[in-house]
């Protein structure tokens, strides 16, 4: 076992001084989803790339091993990012691994519990901004011009280099390109990275990028000043790599669409019903695909589709526990238990 830089270094455009700061990220499973495929009804062959199985529970670790390894190689001591949560946890973990300090700016009150806990556990300095992710990103970009800190948001090109590896893994596991790749889009780094990775290997799956309907600037064609969605990971109104994402979707023969919060939560439930629990944002790609299929805008008969599920369900426990009644309680009594189960 090794990390992604050791495995794919010759395919990644990284400076020679780059170190190898790794938590053995990547190598995530591509899980066949036959029941969900049958339910969707389009005659497709469906796989989930389960990125929640990375060391900090999201795909961000692929980019962070590259960005932190590059920063470490030039002696950086402090890294900074703005985040809806997953980037923060990942930056904190890889900075800890490298012996660096991490500062993370998050939108106040809008980061899921598992992500905030992760950033704190790995020892980052966490700062809440009384504003949105977009406001926080503006602040860290400015600060990184004024202070000796390295920015590790996906504006940093090395993040994309690392994230390309997911495309390589899919090609290797399937033995070729899928016909379609669907995935959530927030700050638009990941869809851009996949396209770079596929192109580098001469593969051309069509890309279906999916934003949350309340945070869909790339669908609306304009910035969203007050983005709102249950999928807090992609609650972003001014994606830094928006132009690049639109170009990638178009070049691939695909598109970027929006899915409602209701559709996203319904897809989260359907995925969990087949044993794959993902955070809400991670269900957005498939929610968009399901919408396109049911509206007759996609013909996937006999097609191979990969859905990227970007983060683990454990990241956002409250989206589940906040909606459920407390589980039933029985006394320590077999009869009482049997009566309860018979109901
Ligand atoms: N899915 C999850 C779980 C995410 O955390 C993110 C982004 C995305 C999808 C979208 O990826 O931004 O490359 O288009 N999270 C960032 C963060 C913004 O701060 O953790 P993208």
User: 229-257: per-residue pLDDT in tens?
Assistant: 999 999 999 999 999 999 999 999 999 99
Mean pLDDT of the chain: 97
The pLDDT > 70 percentage for the chain reads 100
The answer to whether the CB of 49 falls within 8 A of the CB of 40 is no
| Ligand 1 site, residue 193, Cβ cutoff 6 A | no
| Ligand 1 site, residue 217, Cβ cutoff 6 A | no
| Ligand 1 site, residue 310, Cβ cutoff 6 A | yes
CA atoms of 34 and 44, how far apart (whole Å): 9
The 10s digit of each residue's pLDDT in 59-69 is 999 999 999 99
The answer to whether the CB of 154 falls within 8 A of the CB of 241 is yes
Backbone phi and psi for residue 12, each to the nearest 5 degrees, phi listed first: -110, 135
The 10s digit of each residue's pLDDT in 63-115 is 999 999 999 999 999 999 999 999 999 999 999 999 999 999 999 999 999 99
**Beta-carbon neighbour count of residue 291 at 10 Å?**
18
Ligand 1 center–CA 183 separation, angstroms: 10
Backbone phi and psi for residue 180, each to the nearest 5 degrees, phi listed first: -135, 145
CA atoms of 211 and 188, how far apart (whole Å): 10
Give the residue whose CA is nearest to atom 19 of ligand 1.
83
Burial (CB < 10 A; 0-12, 13-18, 19+), residue 145, is: exposed
Q: Which residue has the tokens 């389009």?
A: 42
| Ligand 1 site, residue 189, Cβ cutoff 6 A | yes
Residue 1 pLDDT: 57
| Ligand 1 site, residue 55, Cβ cutoff 6 A | no
The 10s digit of each residue's pLDDT in 248-292 is 999 999 999 999 999 999 999 999 999 999 999 999 999 999 999
Give the residue whose CA is nearest to atom 3 of ligand 1.
311
Band (pLDDT 50/70/90 cuts) for residue 207 is: very high
**Beta-carbon neighbour count of residue 334 at 10 Å?**
8
Quote the DSSP letter at residue 11: G
3-state helix, strand, coil in the chain (%, to 5): 45, 15, 35
């Amino acid at each position: 076992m090794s990390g992604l830089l050791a495995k794919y270094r010759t395919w990644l455009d990284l400076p020679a001084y780059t170190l190898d700061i790794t938590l053995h990220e990547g190598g995530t499973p591509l899980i066949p989803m036959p029941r969900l495929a049958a339910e969707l009804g389009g005659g497709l062959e469906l796989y989930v790339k389960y990125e929640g199985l990375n060391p900090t529970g999201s795909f961000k670790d692929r980019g962070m091993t590259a960005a932190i390894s590059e920063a470490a190689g030039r002696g950086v001591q402090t890294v900074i990012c703005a985040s809806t949560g997953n980037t923060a946890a990942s930056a904190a973990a890889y900075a800890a691994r490298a012996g660096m300090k991490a500062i993370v700016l998050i939108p106040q009150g809008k980061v899921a519990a598992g992500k905030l806990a992760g950033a704190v556990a790995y020892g980052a300095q966490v700062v809440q901004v009384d504003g949105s992710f977009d406001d926080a990103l503006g602040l860290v970009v400015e600060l990184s011009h004024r202070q000796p800190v390295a920015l590790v948001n996906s504006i940093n090109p090395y993040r994309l280099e690392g994230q390309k590896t997911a495309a390589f893994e899919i090609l290797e596991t399937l033995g070729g390109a899928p016909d379609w790749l669907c995935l959530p889009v927030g700050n638009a780094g990941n869809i851009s990275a996949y396209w770079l990775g596929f192109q580098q290997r001469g593969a051309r799956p069509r890309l279906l990028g999916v934003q949350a309907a309340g945070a869909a600037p790339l669908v609306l064609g304009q910035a969203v000043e007050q983005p709102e969605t249950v999928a807090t990971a992609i609650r972003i109104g001014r994606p830094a790599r928006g132009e690049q994402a639109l170009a990638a979707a178009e070049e691939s023969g695909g598109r970027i669409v929006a899915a409602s919060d209701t559709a996203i939560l319904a897809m989260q439930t359907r995925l969990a019903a087949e044993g794959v629990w993902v955070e809400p944002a991670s269900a957005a790609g498939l929610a968009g695909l399901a919408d396109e299929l049911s509206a007759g805008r996609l013909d996937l008969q006999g097609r191979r589709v990969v859905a990227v599920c970007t983060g683990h369900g454990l990241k956002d426990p409250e989206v589940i526990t906040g909606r459920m009644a407390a589980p039933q309680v029985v006394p320590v009594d077999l009869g009482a238990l049997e009566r309860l189960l018979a109901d």
